[in-house]
Chain A
Amino acid sequence: MAGSITSRSILMNQLATGNGFLFPFSSTGASGTAAATASGYFSFALCANKNGTTYPTTLVGLPIPAPAKLRMVFGTFSSASSGRACYLCNAYQIGTVNLTATGSQLTHTTATLPMTRTVFGQGSTAIPLLPLILVTTATATTAPAFTMNYTNQDGGVVTGTKTFTFPGAATIAGSGYIIKTEDGDSGVQDISAISVVTAGTAGAATIYGLEFYEIVNTAFSSIASTCDSVFSGIGLMNMIPSSPTGGTITSLLTTLEITGANGYSGVYVGVSDT
C-alpha cells in the first residue's frame, strides 16, 4: 500500500495485508569487566542474535526486512536480569582500536560518516550516535587509556580532553562501555581519532555508534515489558538503518543491556510506510 501511515486503522491494515514485520527474537550478551568511574560508570552489553553470535568477534544482528521505511510500532522484551533498561538500537561499526601502542590507534571504517536519514522532512540529515567501545581482545599488564577526537552532535569538531581508562589491567573480551564525550555534548557524528595515552601489552576493541529505536525497562526478571510506539508516546522510528554519507558500513540491529549480559527475548513489530 502506498502512502504514509495517517491513522491507527491504516497501520493495522498494513499488518493484516502483509506490509509489516513481526519478529520473535532472542539476544545474548557477553559478561564483561565491571566499569569504573574512569570508564563511564556503567557496563554495557551489546546483545546480538543468540543463534550464530560468538563473542567477541562474531556478532549476528537481529533481522529486519528491507522496505524503504519500516516504522516500529510495538515491542515486548523480557530478561533474566531484573530492573534492567533494554535499548533496541542499531550499532554502526565506526572502527577498530589497537590498545597495545600509544598514539593514534583508530582504524576507521572505509565508509564516510556522518550517518544520515530524513529528519523533519529534511533528507540526508546527520544523526548523532552514542559511542560504545567493545573489547575484542582482552587487555593485559596495564589498563589502557585514551582520549577521543570527534565530530559532535551539532557537527562541531572536538578535540577530546577526557581520558577513558579501562577498568582493569586485564579487562576481558566482551566488555562494553560508553565513551565519554566533552561536557555538553550528547553524541558523535563521527570519530576522527583515538589517541592511546597508556598502552597495554595486549588488547583490541571495536567502536560502534549506536542509534536508538526504543527503550524498555524490564522491571522483574522474566516478566515481559512492552513499548507501544503508537500510543505510549510517539515513536514510530524508522527501523531501516540510516545511511553513511559515502561507502558502506557494518550495521547490526541489537539490544543493549546496562550492567547485565543476559540478553533479551521478545517480539518487535514494524509496519511498512511506503
Chain B
Amino acid sequence: MGNVLTSLDNMLSQATSQGLFSRFVYQNINNNTTNATSTCGYTTARRFPATITVPTLGGSVTGAYLVGFRMASAQSGPFIVGFETLLGSLTVSTNSFTAGSTLPSRIVNGTGSAQQLASIMPIVAIGTTITATSPVLTVTYTNQAGTGARTCTMTLPTSSAAMSEFLMSPHLQGTDTGIRSVSNISISTGSAGVINIYGIIPLAVQGSVSGPDPIPTPFPLIELLGGDVLSFHSYNVIATDIAISNIVLVGEN
C-alpha cells in the first residue's frame, strides 16, 4: 500500500526514491478562438491542443499524483490542468455520434477503495472548426449520481473555431453538478467540424499568467495511472497564444 499521502516527509521520500516525473510541454493556439455566451458556458475558454500522457508506471510504482503545476503564457490566466476523459465525439456533417469512455473509478486522497469519478468541469471542445449557424447542441449523459438520460442543451456560437471550449456545468439538467458518461450527442445544424465532449477532473489552478501564485489548490488528489491524459485550459482570451506548461508527478508504491 502506498504511503505518499500520509505525510509530506513520505511524499519527499517517495520523490527521492522513485524519482519525480516532470514534463514541460510547449503549446500553441495558432488561431483566434470563439467567445462564449450565456447559452454556452458564460466564460470564454479554450483547450490547448498539446496534452501530457502519464507514462507507464514502472517498478513498484502503482500510482502517481500531481504535486506541481506551472503555466507561462503570452495571455492572461487563470489556467487549469485536469485529468481528461474523452466522453464522446460528434461529426457535425453527418450528425453522427462516436462513443467515448466512462470516467474511471479511482482512489481519492489515497484512502479507501476506488470511487466512481464524475466531472464537475465537463466541456464541449471544438476539435476542428465547425460550420454551423447558432447550432443547438444536445448532450445526453449520466449524472454524478448515476442517473442516465439526462440532457444538456447549449446554443453554440456560429462557426466556433478549433480549440474553443464551452463549459457545460451551467447548462446541466436540473440540479445536476457532474457527468460520469455521455450516451449521445446531436446538433441541430451544421455542415463541417468535429466536437468532442471531455470530462475534466480539475487537479490544479494557476490564477494568473504572472505566477508563481501562492495558491493553495484544495482539489482532491486523484490517483493517476499510466495512459491517463492531462490537458490544459485557459480562460477569458480568444487571441492566439503560446504557452509552456510544467507538471510534476510523484509516484506511490
Which listed residue (B120, B207, B218, B221) contacts A266, Cβ 8 A?
Answer: B207
CB pair A18 B118 closer than 8 Å:
yes
Q: Which one of B144, B172, B201, B218 contacts A230 once the chains associate, using CB atoms below 8 Å?
A: B218
Instruction: Indicate if A139 sits at the interface (CB-CB under 8 A).
Output: no
Q: How far is the CA of A25 from the CA of B115 in the complex (A)?
A: 29
Smallest CB–CB gap between B241 and chain A, Å? 15
Q: Indicate whether A23 sits within 8 Å of B76 (C-beta atoms), given known contacts A63-B42, A223-B213, A226-B207.
A: no
B164-200 CB contact bits vs A (8 Å, 1 = yes)? 0001011010111111100000000000000000000
Contact of B38 among A23, A49, A76, A272 (CB under 8 A): A49
Chain A residues contacting B209 (CB-CB under 8 Å) are 222
One of A9, A24, A231 near B80 (C-beta < 8 A): A24
- Contact of A182 with B by CB under 8 A: no
Contact partner of B207 (CB less than 8 A), chosen from A22, A65, A73, A224, is A224
* A228/B216 contact (C-beta < 8 A), A19-B178, A223-B208, A266-B78 known: yes
User: Is B45 in contact with chain A by the CB < 8 A criterion?
Assistant: yes
Tell whether, in the assembled complex, residue A265 and residue B76 are in contact, meaning their CB atoms are under 8 Å apart: yes
Q: Is the CB of A18 within 8 A of B178?
A: yes
Contact with A along B95-108 (1 / 0, CB 8 A): 00000000000101
Whether B207 pairs with A78 at a CB distance below 8 angstroms is yes
A77 an interface residue at 8 Å Cβ cutoff?
yes
Q: Are the C-beta atoms of A65 and B175 separated by less than 8 Å? A: yes
B93 nearest CB across to chain A (Å): 28
Partner of A78, one of B78, B176, B202: B78
CB contact under 8 A between A18 and B120, given known A25-B43, A51-B35:
yes
A17 touches B45 (CB 8 A): no
Q: Which residue of A lies closest to B82 (CB)?
A: A22
Q: Are B220 and A12 in contact (CB under 8 A)?
A: yes
Chain A residues with Cβ under 8 A from B45's Cβ? 24
**Size band of the interface chain A makes with B:** 35 or more
Contact B235 A26 (CB under 8 A): yes
**Contact, CB under 8 Å: A60 / B78:** no
A50 to B38 Cα, complex, angstroms: 10
- A210 to nearest B CB, angstroms? 21
Would you list which residues of chain A between 35 and 82 have a CB under 8 Å from chain B?
Answer: 49-52, 60, 62-68, 73-74, 76-78
Min CB distance, A18 to chain B, in Å? 2
Complex alpha-carbon distance, A68 and B174, angstroms: 11
Interchain CA distance A73-B202 in the complex, whole Å: 14
Q: Is the CB of A15 within 8 A of B210?
A: no
A230 to chain B, nearest CB (A): 6
Question: What 0/1 readout, one digit per residue, does chain A (241-255) give for beta carbons within 8 Å of chain B?
Answer: 000000000000000
Q: With A60-B38, A267-B80 as known contacts, state yes or no: A76 contacts B176, CB within 8 Å.
A: no
- Complex: A223 Cα to B206 Cα, angstroms: 10
**In the complex, A51→B238 CA distance in Å?**
13
Q: Is B177 in contact with A21, judged by CB distance below 8 angstroms?
A: yes
What are 25 sample pairs from A and B whose C-beta atoms fall under 8 A apart?
A9-B109, A12-B219, A16-B118, A18-B117, A19-B118, A19-B120, A20-B177, A21-B120, A22-B121, A22-B169, A22-B202, A23-B170, A49-B42, A51-B44, A60-B38, A63-B42, A64-B170, A65-B175, A76-B213, A76-B215, A77-B207, A78-B208, A223-B210, A267-B80, A272-B177
Question: Footprint of B on A, CB under 8 Å?
Answer: 9, 12-13, 15-26, 49-52, 60, 62-68, 73-74, 76-78, 222-226, 228, 230-231, 265-267, 269, 272
